[in-house]
Amino acid sequence: MKKEIIIHNNRKVTKTIKNNGTISYTQRGVYIGVDVKTGKKVTSSVTAKTLRGLDRKIIQARLDFENKGSTLKETLVINNFEELAEAWFISFITWVTSQNTINRVRGYLDTYIIPKFGDYKPDEIKSVDIQIWVNQLAQKSKKSVEAGNKKSKKGHAKDFGAVIHKLSDIFDFGITNFELPHNPARTIKIPPKPKPSQERIMVLHEEDLSKWLNFLNSLPNTRANRRFKLICDTLLASALRINELLALTIHDIDFKANEILVNKTLMWKAGNKNLGIKGKMVCKNSAKTDSGNRRVAVPRKILEDLKSFHDEMNSYFERHGLPTVDLIFPTIYGNYMCDRNERATLKKRLTELDLPDYGFHLFRHTHASLMLNAGANWKELQVRMGHKSIKTTMDVYATLANKNMHSAVDIYLKEIDKLTN
């Protein structure tokens, strides 16, 4: 191969003759233009088989540079609103720490926003389109609430206001990053959230609680039933939330103080179908709230049963050549346990016994009712329940102290009797 420098249009050009006789011409440092994003001069190397072809390629390189927006920096192009929403969500999850918040917002996108506007071009979505849509969502939600549905169908939930706020955030993101002309969601009037009639907290009162406890004691002695019974008994005795319980390790049991240490919780980390990511259970190394980090006194038998089940599961792992774990309620593979199957079992058994179905929170409410009717004060209950404020405890559980309310009448009558006799 032979190279020589020639002058073409007052510029140095490298002429290359390969061994097979083919010739090429290369001009280095060709001025292409000025990058509008950096302000720097852009140059490039251009190669062609002939000098005339070299001239044409230089002109074409300059035209291509202009057509790409006169920049070498990556310019993202959004073809529809779904792409904009996904780009926003990638940014959103980088600064949000709560997995529950991420899951909830992902649900807004998948259930509401993308099905409605995903195929639209972002700048073609009008304010009137959004207003009509949110009015329809409000109507669906109102009908669902009036029907007394405990859990709304997809697309009928009360959080349509939050959906619109996130839609507005996506448009603002588009204005900042993709030069959208305006945010059509900013002027939307969100209808008021429908208010259900005061929902009575469902608990197991004496007769129902006796029926439930006798049922648990009558279950066949299988590992699945032992786990289910222990979960229910521990929730009733401690008022823990189900995912606080499933996050417990053997190190969270304090036999000296007869207490359970609550300092973490499990949560579902939603997957992303578009990215091929599956959802999974993860452990958040803090409770639901700061006040949720607490120590809860429980009967010693509960602690002994928890340790016994932990030992049973580790014996299973050892027999099958698997590593032992600290978790008290692991899966048979030693992973974090999802409460979904246990919830289904609970629902089935409560229904069979004609007992109120309120999920595992039923035992938390029942515990609160037992405590209040036994004379526990509100501050004591607040700490035990892990509520951030005593107002939350009183707002939720004030109607549960039935015996205390009736005793208040007796106290009133006695005092009146003293004053009138």
What's the pLDDT tens digit per position in 361-416? 889 888 887 787 777 777 777 778 787 777 766 666 666 555 554 454 454 456 54
Whether the CA torsion 44, 47, 48, 51 is positive or negative: it is positive
Of 88, 91, 133, nearest in space to 112 by CA: 133
Q: Centre a 10 Å sphere on the Cβ of residue 307 and count the other Cβ atoms it contains.
A: 14
* Element at 368 (helix H, strand E): helix 361-373
Where residue 293 falls among pLDDT bands split at 50, 70, 90? confident
Given this model, what pLDDT does residue 333 score? 93
What is the amino acid identity at position 330?
Answer: P
Cα dist from 387 to 39, 186, 259, 294, 405, whole Å: 56, 35, 18, 10, 23
As a whole number, mean pLDDT of residues 75-83 equals: 78
188-199 pLDDT, tens digit per residue, is 999 988 776 655
54-64 mean pLDDT: 86
As a whole-number percent, the residues of the chain with pLDDT over 70 amount to: 84
State the pLDDT at residue 155: 62
**Angle in degrees, CA 306, 312, 317, rounded to 5:** 130
Compute the average pLDDT of residues 337-352: 92
- The whole-number pLDDT of residue 412 equals 46
Strands (DSSP E) contained in 299-399 are none
Return the higher-pLDDT residue of 21 and 220: 220
pLDDT at 200 over 70: no
pLDDT value of position 416 = 47
When mean pLDDT is compared across 61-70, 254-263, 399-408, the lowest value belongs to: 399-408
pLDDT of residue 229: 96
Fold of 206-406: hpI Integrase; Chain A (1.10.443)
User: Which of 18, 38, 36 is closest to 26 using CA atoms?
Assistant: 18
pLDDT digits (tens, 9 = 90+) for 114-162: 999 999 999 999 999 999 999 999 888 888 777 666 565 666 577 889 9
pLDDT for 408 equals: 46
Bridge partner list, 268: 281
Confidence class of residue 274 from pLDDT cuts 50, 70 and 90?
low
The span from the CA of 181 to the CA of 195, in Å, is 37
The mean pLDDT of 333-356, rounded to a whole number, is: 92
Coil, strand or helix: which one is 296?
A: strand
| Per-domain boundaries in the chain | 2-67, 81-178, 206-406
CA dihedral 293, 294, 298, 304 (to 10 degrees): 60
Least confident range from 71-80, 85-94, 139-148, 355-364: namely 71-80
Cα distance between residue 100 and residue 267, in whole Å: 7
Pairwise CA distance, residues 333 & 341, whole Å: 16
Using CB atoms within 10 A of its CB, is residue 355 exposed (0-12), middle (13-18) or buried (19+)?
A: middle
Say whether pLDDT at 202 is over 60.
yes
Average pLDDT rounded to a whole number, residues 323-346: 93
Q: Quick one: pLDDT at residue 285?
A: 82
- Check whether 63 has a pLDDT greater than 50: yes
What rounded mean pLDDT belongs to the chain? 84
CA–CA gap between residue 185 and residue 127 (Å, rounded): 6
For 109, other C-beta atoms within 10 Å of its C-beta total: 21
Q: What is the pLDDT of residue 410?
A: 56
CA angle 80, 82, 85 (to 5 degrees): 115
**Does residue 59 carry a pLDDT above 90?**
no
